[in-house]
Amino acid sequence: MDFSFTEEQSMLRDTVAAYLADHYDFDKRRAAVSKEPGWRPDVWKAFAEELGILGAPFSEELGGLGGGAIENMVVMEEFGKALVVEPYLGTVVIGGGFLKHSGHAGAADMIGGIIEGKTIFAFAYAEPKGRYNLAALETTAKKDGAGWTLNGHKAVVLGAPFATHLIVTARTSGGVRDAGGVSVFIVEKGAKGVTTRDYPTVDGNRASEVYFENVSLGADALVGPADGGLPLVEKVVDEAIAATCAEACGVLRKLHEGTLEYTKQRKQFGVPISSFQVLQHRMVDMFINVEQAVSMTYMANIKVGDDAERAKAASAAKVQIGKACKFVGQNAIQLHGGMGMTDEMAIGHYFKRATMIESAFGSVDHHLARYELLSLGKAA
Partner 1 sequence: MNLDFTPEENAFRDEVRAFIAENYPAELRKAQDEGRALTKEEYLLWHKVLAKKGWVAPGWPKELGGTGWTPTQKYIWSEETARADCLGLLPFGLSMLAPVLYTFGTDEQKKKFLPGIYNGDVWWCQGYSEPGAGSDLASLKTKAERITADDGKEYYIVNGQKTWTTLGQHADWGFFLVRTDPDAKPQSGISFLLIDMKTPGIEVRRITTLEGGHEVNDVFLDNVKVPVENRIFHENQGWTCAKALLAHERSGIAGVARSKRNLEKLRTISSTERSDTGSSLLSDAFFRRKVAELEIDLTALEFTELRTLAGESSGKGPGPESSILKIKGTEIQQRLQELALEAVGHYGAPFLRDLGGNAAGVGPDYAEGLAGEMFNGRKTSIYGGSNEIQRNIIAKMVLGL
Interface contacts to partner 1, rule CB under 8 A = 126, 128-133, 136, 155-156, 158, 176-177, 197, 199-203, 205, 207, 209, 267-270, 273, 276, 278-279, 326, 330, 333-334, 337-338, 340-344, 348-349, 351-352, 355-356, 359, 363, 365-366, 368-369
Name which of 45 and 267 has its Cβ closer to partner 1. 267
CB-CB neighbours of 42 under 10 Å: 10
Minimum CB separation of residue 332 from partner 1 in Å reads: 10
Nearer to partner 1, 115 or 157 (CB): 157
Compute the distance between CA of residue 367 and CA of residue 319 in angstroms, rounded to an integer: 6
CB of 158 to partner 1, least distance (A): 8
Q: Which is nearer to partner 1, 55 or 362 (CB)?
A: 362
Shortest separation between residue 103's beta carbon and partner 1, angstroms: 30
Which lies closer to partner 1 via its Cβ, residue 53 or residue 356? 356
| Helix H or strand E encompassing 335 | helix 310-336
* 34 neighbors 95 (Cβ within 8 angstroms): no
Supply the minimum distance, in Å, between the C-beta of residue 60 and partner 1: 37
Rounded Cα–Cα distance for residues 75 and 83 (Å): 12
What minimum distance in Å lies between the beta carbon of 26 and partner 1? 13
Query: Which residue, 6 or 334, has its beta carbon nearer to partner 1?
Result: 334
Distance CA 203, CA 220 (A): 36
CB closer to partner 1 out of 62 and 357: 357
Which residues touch 70 (CB under 8 Å, ≥6 apart)? Answer: 5, 9, 301, 302
Q: How far apart are CA 75 and CA 54, in angstroms?
A: 10
Least Å distance between CB 202 and partner 1? Answer: 4
Smaller CB separation from partner 1, 16 or 248: 248
Task: Dump the DSSP string for 3-37.
Answer: -PPPHHHHHHHHHHHHHHHHH--HHHHHHHHTSTT
Would you tell me the crossing angle of helices 364-375 and 310-336 to the nearest 10 degrees? 150
Q: What H or E segment, with its residue span, contains residue 184?
A: strand 182-188
| Shortest CB 308 distance to partner 1, Å | 23
Distance from chain centroid for Cα 277: 37
Residues 6+ apart with CB under 8 A from 115: 48, 52, 54, 55, 58, 62, 63, 64
